Structure 1
């Protein structure tokens, strides 16, 4: 009985510490395993949520702000992936990349389909990866 409880606890803790797979992506919709369906999303080891641009006043230009990334960075990721949208309309200013790197975190920026592929590869390899992804323009 005790060994079964310990085994279950280990599985729960391991699942909470792994980055969830983004299982589907299409224009305006992303599905995250163990999370839900989002238009834009933030993911980190153990969780995900909608990325609501209104929280920080983000727009396509000037683009992703350091404040958009703080929640994910606080989760202890080693790499942060940013998806700029299907047509790469969402900008990522150099100051935002510099902010991420100043915390010792690698910053990867791509068109969203490529960003999701890169993120999923890192997550499958057990890396402490997080991301923010825009699923439209």
Structure 2
């Protein structure tokens, strides 16, 4: 099962190919996507992305995880979260969201088992 390509990203909106929904923040993985609802884990810009935000994507079995920190990179990614991902044997890339989407789509195009979590505002 391949990861879906991200069709577009702009401030506050993300579209995933093959999905009729428009997301503000989203999670993608081989075979699927859904809204990334920060209220599920109590995530805020600081301290930022928590292991619980990533567990669903990692559970599917990805080799690389791409994290988009927002258009202005306001979303923090603590080292403890990065350690959590690496302990699962998964490479992690943390980038400004537009760059993260480009990296993610490039990996999808290469047929990689890639997942991502993306914040599309600040």
TM bucket, shorter chain = over 0.9
Structure 2 residue runs of 5 or longer lacking an equivalent are none
Aligned Cα root-mean-square deviation (Å): 0.4
Q: How do 1:55-70 residues align onto structure 2 when only pairs under 5 Å count?
A: 55-70=40-55
* Highest RCO, 1 vs 2 (Cα 8 Å, sep ≥ 6): 2
Point out the structure with the larger helix share. 1
**In the alignment, which of 96, 102, 105 is matched to residue 117 of structure 1?**
102
1:131 to 100, 112, 116: 116
TM-score, reference length from structure 2? 0.98
Larger gyration radius, structure 1 or structure 2: 1
Runs of 4 or more above 3 Å deviation? none
Q: How many residues align?
A: 121
Deviation at 1:37, TM superposition (A): 1.1
Q: Corresponding residue for 1:73?
A: 58
Unaligned runs of 5+ in 1: 1-16
